Structure 1
Amino acid sequence: RNGPVMRIGYTRVSTDKQTLFQSEEALRQAGCDKIFSDFAVSATAKKRPGLIEARAALKSGDTFVVLSIDRAFRSTIEGLTVLDELHKQGITFHSIWQNIDTTTPEGRKWFTYAVADAEYEKAVISRRTKLAMQAAKDRGVKFGRKTVMTPAKQRRASKLLTEGCSGCEIARKLDISRSTMFRYAREAELMAS
Protein backbone atom coordinates (compact mmCIF):
# COMPACT_ATOMS: atom_id res chain seq x y z
CA ARG A 1 0.00 0.00 0.00
CA ASN A 2 1.03 3.64 -0.43
CA GLY A 3 0.99 5.78 2.70
CA PRO A 4 0.70 5.06 6.42
CA VAL A 5 -1.67 2.60 8.05
CA MET A 6 -4.84 4.41 9.14
CA ARG A 7 -7.64 4.06 11.66
CA ILE A 8 -10.84 5.01 9.85
CA GLY A 9 -13.80 5.80 12.10
CA TYR A 10 -17.50 5.72 11.28
CA THR A 11 -20.55 6.77 13.27
CA ARG A 12 -24.25 7.12 12.59
CA VAL A 13 -26.80 9.04 14.64
CA SER A 14 -30.52 9.32 14.03
CA THR A 15 -31.27 12.85 15.22
CA ASP A 16 -29.25 14.69 17.86
CA LYS A 17 -26.31 16.86 16.71
CA GLN A 18 -24.87 16.78 20.23
CA THR A 19 -24.78 12.97 20.06
CA LEU A 20 -22.96 13.19 16.71
CA PHE A 21 -20.32 15.47 18.27
CA GLN A 22 -19.89 13.08 21.21
CA SER A 23 -19.64 10.06 18.90
CA GLU A 24 -17.02 11.73 16.71
CA GLU A 25 -15.08 12.83 19.81
CA ALA A 26 -15.06 9.23 21.11
CA LEU A 27 -13.67 8.06 17.76
CA ARG A 28 -10.97 10.77 17.89
CA GLN A 29 -10.07 9.61 21.43
CA ALA A 30 -9.78 6.06 20.02
CA GLY A 31 -7.04 7.32 17.66
CA CYS A 32 -9.00 7.58 14.41
CA ASP A 33 -7.13 9.46 11.69
CA LYS A 34 -10.29 10.10 9.64
CA ILE A 35 -13.92 10.02 10.74
CA PHE A 36 -16.98 9.65 8.52
CA SER A 37 -20.52 10.23 9.77
CA ASP A 38 -24.14 9.84 8.80
CA PHE A 39 -26.43 12.32 10.56
CA ALA A 40 -30.22 11.96 10.81
CA VAL A 41 -30.05 8.56 9.11
CA SER A 42 -32.07 5.69 10.54
CA ALA A 43 -30.62 2.27 11.28
CA THR A 44 -32.57 0.73 8.42
CA ALA A 45 -31.67 3.33 5.77
CA LYS A 46 -30.15 1.81 2.65
CA LYS A 47 -28.33 5.01 1.66
CA ARG A 48 -25.60 5.87 4.12
CA PRO A 49 -23.13 8.13 2.29
CA GLY A 50 -20.82 8.40 5.31
CA LEU A 51 -20.46 4.62 5.50
CA ILE A 52 -19.80 4.41 1.76
CA GLU A 53 -17.04 7.07 2.08
CA ALA A 54 -15.52 5.30 5.09
CA ARG A 55 -15.42 1.98 3.24
CA ALA A 56 -13.86 3.67 0.18
CA ALA A 57 -11.13 5.25 2.36
CA LEU A 58 -10.03 1.90 3.84
CA LYS A 59 -6.90 0.22 2.48
CA SER A 60 -5.11 -3.01 3.33
CA GLY A 61 -3.57 -2.77 6.81
CA ASP A 62 -6.09 -0.16 8.02
CA THR A 63 -8.55 -0.61 10.88
CA PHE A 64 -12.25 0.18 10.54
CA VAL A 65 -13.41 1.62 13.88
CA VAL A 66 -16.99 2.03 15.09
CA LEU A 67 -18.35 2.96 18.51
CA SER A 68 -20.78 0.07 18.49
CA ILE A 69 -21.73 -2.64 16.03
CA ASP A 70 -25.35 -1.42 15.81
CA ARG A 71 -24.11 2.00 14.57
CA ALA A 72 -22.65 0.41 11.42
CA PHE A 73 -24.78 -2.54 10.37
CA ARG A 74 -28.49 -2.91 9.60
CA SER A 75 -28.64 -6.67 10.00
CA THR A 76 -26.72 -9.77 10.99
CA ILE A 77 -26.22 -10.69 7.32
CA GLU A 78 -24.85 -7.23 6.48
CA GLY A 79 -22.50 -7.28 9.48
CA LEU A 80 -21.09 -10.71 8.64
CA THR A 81 -20.78 -9.88 4.93
CA VAL A 82 -18.95 -6.59 5.59
CA LEU A 83 -16.64 -8.21 8.15
CA ASP A 84 -15.78 -10.94 5.64
CA GLU A 85 -15.09 -8.35 2.92
CA LEU A 86 -12.88 -6.29 5.28
CA HIS A 87 -10.82 -9.32 6.28
CA LYS A 88 -10.34 -10.36 2.64
CA GLN A 89 -9.00 -6.83 1.94
CA GLY A 90 -6.56 -7.07 4.86
CA ILE A 91 -8.55 -4.57 6.97
CA THR A 92 -9.16 -5.18 10.68
CA PHE A 93 -12.33 -4.23 12.53
CA HIS A 94 -12.64 -2.64 15.97
CA SER A 95 -15.83 -1.89 17.91
CA ILE A 96 -14.97 0.39 20.84
CA TRP A 97 -17.88 -0.48 23.13
CA GLN A 98 -17.89 -4.23 22.47
CA ASN A 99 -14.07 -4.38 22.32
CA ILE A 100 -14.13 -7.36 19.97
CA ASP A 101 -11.00 -8.59 18.18
CA THR A 102 -12.32 -10.12 14.96
CA THR A 103 -8.91 -11.45 13.94
CA THR A 104 -9.48 -14.43 16.26
CA PRO A 105 -12.08 -17.22 15.93
CA GLU A 106 -13.44 -16.25 19.37
CA GLY A 107 -13.69 -12.60 18.34
CA ARG A 108 -15.60 -13.50 15.18
CA LYS A 109 -17.95 -15.63 17.27
CA TRP A 110 -18.65 -12.73 19.66
CA PHE A 111 -19.04 -10.37 16.71
CA THR A 112 -21.73 -12.70 15.29
CA TYR A 113 -23.57 -12.70 18.64
CA ALA A 114 -23.30 -8.91 18.99
CA VAL A 115 -24.56 -8.14 15.48
CA ALA A 116 -27.45 -10.62 15.91
CA ASP A 117 -28.35 -9.05 19.28
CA ALA A 118 -28.36 -5.58 17.67
CA GLU A 119 -30.73 -6.75 14.92
CA TYR A 120 -33.01 -8.43 17.49
CA GLU A 121 -33.15 -5.30 19.70
CA LYS A 122 -33.97 -3.12 16.68
CA ALA A 123 -36.82 -5.49 15.69
CA VAL A 124 -38.24 -5.53 19.25
CA ILE A 125 -38.15 -1.71 19.47
CA SER A 126 -39.85 -1.46 16.06
CA ARG A 127 -42.59 -3.87 17.17
CA ARG A 128 -43.18 -1.95 20.43
CA THR A 129 -43.35 1.35 18.54
CA LYS A 130 -45.90 -0.02 16.04
CA LEU A 131 -48.04 -1.47 18.84
CA ALA A 132 -47.94 1.81 20.80
CA MET A 133 -48.87 3.83 17.69
CA GLN A 134 -51.76 1.49 16.89
CA ALA A 135 -53.03 1.71 20.47
CA ALA A 136 -52.84 5.52 20.28
CA LYS A 137 -54.71 5.53 16.93
CA ASP A 138 -57.38 3.28 18.46
CA ARG A 139 -57.81 5.92 21.22
CA GLY A 140 -58.27 8.60 18.54
CA VAL A 141 -54.81 10.18 18.66
CA LYS A 142 -53.94 11.77 15.32
CA PHE A 143 -50.36 11.67 14.01
CA GLY A 144 -48.62 14.05 11.63
CA ARG A 145 -48.63 17.79 11.21
CA LYS A 146 -51.62 19.81 12.35
CA THR A 147 -53.74 21.13 9.53
CA VAL A 148 -53.31 24.79 8.61
CA MET A 149 -56.86 24.90 7.30
CA THR A 150 -58.80 25.22 10.54
CA PRO A 151 -62.61 24.91 10.34
CA ALA A 152 -62.86 28.72 10.56
CA LYS A 153 -60.42 29.18 7.66
CA GLN A 154 -62.26 26.52 5.65
CA ARG A 155 -65.57 28.37 6.11
CA ARG A 156 -63.97 31.69 5.15
CA ALA A 157 -62.22 30.14 2.11
CA SER A 158 -65.51 28.61 0.92
CA LYS A 159 -67.28 31.96 1.30
CA LEU A 160 -64.53 33.81 -0.59
CA LEU A 161 -64.53 31.16 -3.35
CA THR A 162 -68.30 31.57 -3.87
CA GLU A 163 -67.76 35.36 -4.00
CA GLY A 164 -65.37 34.80 -6.91
CA CYS A 165 -62.02 35.51 -5.21
CA SER A 166 -59.00 33.84 -6.78
CA GLY A 167 -57.09 31.11 -4.94
CA CYS A 168 -54.01 33.35 -4.67
CA GLU A 169 -56.09 36.17 -3.19
CA ILE A 170 -57.69 33.86 -0.64
CA ALA A 171 -54.30 32.38 0.31
CA ARG A 172 -53.00 35.90 0.98
CA LYS A 173 -56.08 36.89 3.02
CA LEU A 174 -55.94 33.71 5.13
CA ASP A 175 -52.14 33.79 5.50
CA ILE A 176 -51.71 30.32 4.05
CA SER A 177 -49.61 29.02 1.16
CA ARG A 178 -51.09 28.87 -2.32
CA SER A 179 -50.52 25.10 -2.44
CA THR A 180 -52.53 24.67 0.79
CA MET A 181 -55.33 26.78 -0.67
CA PHE A 182 -55.44 24.88 -3.96
CA ARG A 183 -55.30 21.52 -2.15
CA TYR A 184 -58.26 22.61 0.01
CA ALA A 185 -60.18 23.84 -3.07
CA ARG A 186 -59.63 20.49 -4.81
CA GLU A 187 -60.73 18.55 -1.72
CA ALA A 188 -63.77 20.81 -1.19
CA GLU A 189 -64.74 20.34 -4.83
CA LEU A 190 -64.48 16.56 -4.45
CA MET A 191 -66.54 16.69 -1.26
CA ALA A 192 -69.20 18.86 -2.97
CA SER A 193 -69.55 16.51 -5.97
Structure 2
Amino acid sequence: MASNVFTGLLNSSADRHSLFDDAQGIVAGSMLAVLGVSLLSGAGLLAGGTAGLAFLAHYATGFSFGLCFFAVNLPFYYLAFRRMGPAFTIKTFAAIALTSVLSEFVPGFIGIGQVDPIAGALFGGLVIGAGVLALFRHRASLGGIGILALYIQDRLGWRAGLVQLGFDCLILALSFLVASPAIIACSVLGAIVFNLTLAINHRKDRYIAV
Protein backbone atom coordinates (compact mmCIF):
# COMPACT_ATOMS: atom_id res chain seq x y z
CA MET A 1 0.00 0.00 0.00
CA ALA A 2 2.74 2.46 0.96
CA SER A 3 4.62 1.77 -2.26
CA ASN A 4 1.46 2.43 -4.28
CA VAL A 5 0.97 5.79 -2.56
CA PHE A 6 4.61 6.71 -3.13
CA THR A 7 4.38 5.69 -6.78
CA GLY A 8 1.25 7.81 -7.18
CA LEU A 9 3.09 10.86 -5.86
CA LEU A 10 5.78 10.42 -8.50
CA ASN A 11 3.62 9.21 -11.37
CA SER A 12 3.55 11.91 -14.03
CA SER A 13 2.53 11.60 -17.66
CA ALA A 14 2.92 13.55 -20.88
CA ASP A 15 -0.14 15.69 -20.09
CA ARG A 16 -0.28 15.69 -16.28
CA HIS A 17 2.18 16.60 -13.54
CA SER A 18 2.54 14.41 -10.47
CA LEU A 19 2.25 15.85 -6.97
CA PHE A 20 6.03 15.69 -6.68
CA ASP A 21 6.39 17.57 -10.00
CA ASP A 22 4.12 20.34 -8.71
CA ALA A 23 5.90 20.54 -5.37
CA GLN A 24 9.36 20.94 -6.87
CA GLY A 25 8.01 23.42 -9.44
CA ILE A 26 6.49 25.59 -6.72
CA VAL A 27 9.64 25.46 -4.58
CA ALA A 28 11.95 26.17 -7.53
CA GLY A 29 9.73 28.97 -8.85
CA SER A 30 9.51 30.62 -5.43
CA MET A 31 13.27 30.41 -4.90
CA LEU A 32 13.97 31.99 -8.28
CA ALA A 33 11.42 34.74 -7.61
CA VAL A 34 13.06 35.59 -4.29
CA LEU A 35 16.51 35.69 -5.90
CA GLY A 36 15.20 38.03 -8.60
CA VAL A 37 13.51 40.27 -6.03
CA SER A 38 16.80 40.43 -4.11
CA LEU A 39 18.56 41.64 -7.26
CA LEU A 40 15.92 44.31 -7.83
CA SER A 41 16.05 45.38 -4.20
CA GLY A 42 19.86 45.55 -4.27
CA ALA A 43 19.56 47.96 -7.20
CA GLY A 44 16.82 49.99 -5.47
CA LEU A 45 14.34 49.07 -8.21
CA LEU A 46 10.65 48.31 -8.17
CA ALA A 47 8.67 45.57 -9.86
CA GLY A 48 5.32 45.12 -11.53
CA GLY A 49 2.32 43.11 -10.40
CA THR A 50 1.57 42.52 -6.75
CA ALA A 51 5.33 42.41 -6.12
CA GLY A 52 5.40 46.02 -7.33
CA LEU A 53 2.56 46.93 -4.99
CA ALA A 54 4.43 45.19 -2.18
CA PHE A 55 7.59 47.17 -2.98
CA LEU A 56 5.60 50.41 -2.89
CA ALA A 57 4.10 49.47 0.46
CA HIS A 58 7.50 48.40 1.75
CA TYR A 59 9.21 51.65 0.76
CA ALA A 60 6.31 53.80 1.97
CA THR A 61 5.67 52.12 5.34
CA GLY A 62 8.90 50.38 6.28
CA PHE A 63 7.18 47.02 6.75
CA SER A 64 9.08 44.03 5.37
CA PHE A 65 8.62 43.09 1.73
CA GLY A 66 7.54 39.56 2.64
CA LEU A 67 4.72 40.78 4.89
CA CYS A 68 3.55 43.36 2.34
CA PHE A 69 3.66 40.80 -0.46
CA PHE A 70 1.55 38.32 1.46
CA ALA A 71 -0.98 41.00 2.47
CA VAL A 72 -1.56 42.57 -0.96
CA ASN A 73 -2.35 39.16 -2.45
CA LEU A 74 -5.12 38.32 0.02
CA PRO A 75 -7.97 39.94 -2.00
CA PHE A 76 -7.11 37.89 -5.10
CA TYR A 77 -7.66 34.45 -3.59
CA TYR A 78 -11.41 34.72 -4.05
CA LEU A 79 -10.97 35.37 -7.79
CA ALA A 80 -8.51 32.50 -8.00
CA PHE A 81 -10.93 30.11 -6.32
CA ARG A 82 -13.97 31.17 -8.36
CA ARG A 83 -12.29 31.44 -11.74
CA MET A 84 -9.28 29.08 -11.67
CA GLY A 85 -10.39 26.35 -9.26
CA PRO A 86 -9.32 25.06 -5.84
CA ALA A 87 -6.15 23.29 -7.05
CA PHE A 88 -4.81 26.50 -8.64
CA THR A 89 -5.73 28.48 -5.52
CA ILE A 90 -3.99 26.08 -3.14
CA LYS A 91 -0.82 25.95 -5.22
CA THR A 92 -0.80 29.72 -5.61
CA PHE A 93 -1.27 30.22 -1.87
CA ALA A 94 1.65 27.84 -1.24
CA ALA A 95 3.86 29.73 -3.72
CA ILE A 96 2.99 33.13 -2.20
CA ALA A 97 3.48 31.91 1.37
CA LEU A 98 6.83 30.30 0.52
CA THR A 99 8.01 33.38 -1.38
CA SER A 100 7.00 35.63 1.53
CA VAL A 101 8.84 33.46 4.07
CA LEU A 102 11.95 33.12 1.92
CA SER A 103 11.99 36.90 1.40
CA GLU A 104 12.36 37.29 5.15
CA PHE A 105 15.28 34.86 5.57
CA VAL A 106 17.21 34.69 2.29
CA PRO A 107 18.87 38.15 2.69
CA GLY A 108 20.49 36.81 5.86
CA PHE A 109 22.12 33.98 3.89
CA ILE A 110 22.75 35.65 0.52
CA GLY A 111 24.11 39.15 0.86
CA ILE A 112 23.59 41.12 -2.34
CA GLY A 113 25.31 44.48 -2.05
CA GLN A 114 25.14 47.41 -4.42
CA VAL A 115 23.79 46.38 -7.83
CA ASP A 116 23.96 48.49 -10.97
CA PRO A 117 20.34 49.45 -11.81
CA ILE A 118 20.54 48.35 -15.45
CA ALA A 119 22.17 45.02 -14.54
CA GLY A 120 19.64 44.57 -11.74
CA ALA A 121 16.79 45.19 -14.16
CA LEU A 122 18.09 42.74 -16.77
CA PHE A 123 19.08 39.90 -14.45
CA GLY A 124 16.36 40.48 -11.86
CA GLY A 125 13.61 40.63 -14.48
CA LEU A 126 14.91 37.49 -16.19
CA VAL A 127 15.25 35.47 -12.97
CA ILE A 128 11.79 36.45 -11.70
CA GLY A 129 10.38 35.64 -15.13
CA ALA A 130 11.96 32.18 -15.01
CA GLY A 131 10.47 31.63 -11.55
CA VAL A 132 6.98 32.71 -12.54
CA LEU A 133 7.25 30.65 -15.73
CA ALA A 134 7.93 27.56 -13.60
CA LEU A 135 4.87 28.36 -11.48
CA PHE A 136 2.66 28.96 -14.54
CA ARG A 137 3.65 25.58 -15.95
CA HIS A 138 2.46 23.94 -12.75
CA ARG A 139 -0.83 25.86 -12.76
CA ALA A 140 0.19 28.28 -10.02
CA SER A 141 1.20 31.93 -9.86
CA LEU A 142 2.51 34.57 -7.50
CA GLY A 143 -0.99 35.91 -7.11
CA GLY A 144 -2.74 39.12 -7.99
CA ILE A 145 -1.97 40.27 -11.51
CA GLY A 146 -0.66 36.83 -12.42
CA ILE A 147 -4.06 35.36 -11.61
CA LEU A 148 -5.79 37.96 -13.78
CA ALA A 149 -3.30 37.42 -16.60
CA LEU A 150 -3.79 33.64 -16.61
CA TYR A 151 -7.57 34.02 -16.42
CA ILE A 152 -7.63 36.46 -19.36
CA GLN A 153 -5.32 34.18 -21.37
CA ASP A 154 -7.57 31.18 -20.74
CA ARG A 155 -10.76 33.10 -21.55
CA LEU A 156 -9.72 35.48 -24.32
CA GLY A 157 -6.52 33.95 -25.69
CA TRP A 158 -4.43 37.04 -24.94
CA ARG A 159 -0.80 36.32 -24.03
CA ALA A 160 -0.43 36.29 -20.23
CA GLY A 161 2.90 38.12 -20.43
CA LEU A 162 1.49 40.95 -22.52
CA VAL A 163 -1.56 41.31 -20.28
CA GLN A 164 0.66 41.52 -17.23
CA LEU A 165 2.91 44.06 -18.97
CA GLY A 166 -0.06 46.42 -19.34
CA PHE A 167 -0.89 46.18 -15.65
CA ASP A 168 2.77 46.56 -14.73
CA CYS A 169 3.08 49.83 -16.63
CA LEU A 170 0.16 51.21 -14.63
CA ILE A 171 1.67 50.09 -11.33
CA LEU A 172 5.09 51.47 -12.22
CA ALA A 173 3.47 54.81 -13.07
CA LEU A 174 2.49 55.02 -9.39
CA SER A 175 6.15 54.59 -8.53
CA PHE A 176 6.79 58.27 -9.30
CA LEU A 177 5.48 58.85 -5.78
CA VAL A 178 8.45 57.08 -4.18
CA ALA A 179 11.27 56.84 -6.75
CA SER A 180 13.31 58.96 -9.15
CA PRO A 181 12.70 58.91 -12.93
CA ALA A 182 16.01 57.07 -13.51
CA ILE A 183 15.07 54.30 -11.07
CA ILE A 184 11.60 54.03 -12.61
CA ALA A 185 13.08 53.81 -16.11
CA CYS A 186 15.27 50.89 -15.03
CA SER A 187 12.29 49.32 -13.24
CA VAL A 188 10.31 49.52 -16.49
CA LEU A 189 13.22 47.79 -18.25
CA GLY A 190 13.06 45.00 -15.66
CA ALA A 191 9.30 44.67 -16.14
CA ILE A 192 9.76 44.41 -19.92
CA VAL A 193 12.39 41.67 -19.54
CA PHE A 194 10.17 39.83 -17.06
CA ASN A 195 7.03 39.96 -19.18
CA LEU A 196 8.77 39.18 -22.48
CA THR A 197 10.19 36.07 -20.79
CA LEU A 198 6.64 34.99 -20.02
CA ALA A 199 5.14 36.04 -23.36
CA ILE A 200 7.77 34.20 -25.41
CA ASN A 201 8.06 31.06 -23.30
CA HIS A 202 4.52 30.46 -22.00
CA ARG A 203 1.83 29.65 -24.54
CA LYS A 204 -1.22 27.55 -23.77
CA ASP A 205 -1.11 25.86 -27.18
CA ARG A 206 2.50 24.76 -26.69
CA TYR A 207 2.49 23.68 -23.05
CA ILE A 208 -0.56 21.71 -21.99
CA ALA A 209 0.55 19.79 -18.88
CA VAL A 210 -1.61 20.42 -15.79
Query: TM (normalized to structure 2)?
Result: 0.29
Higher relative CO (CA 8 A, sep ≥ 6), structure 1 or 2?
Answer: 2
Write 1 or 2 for the structure with the bigger share of helix.
2
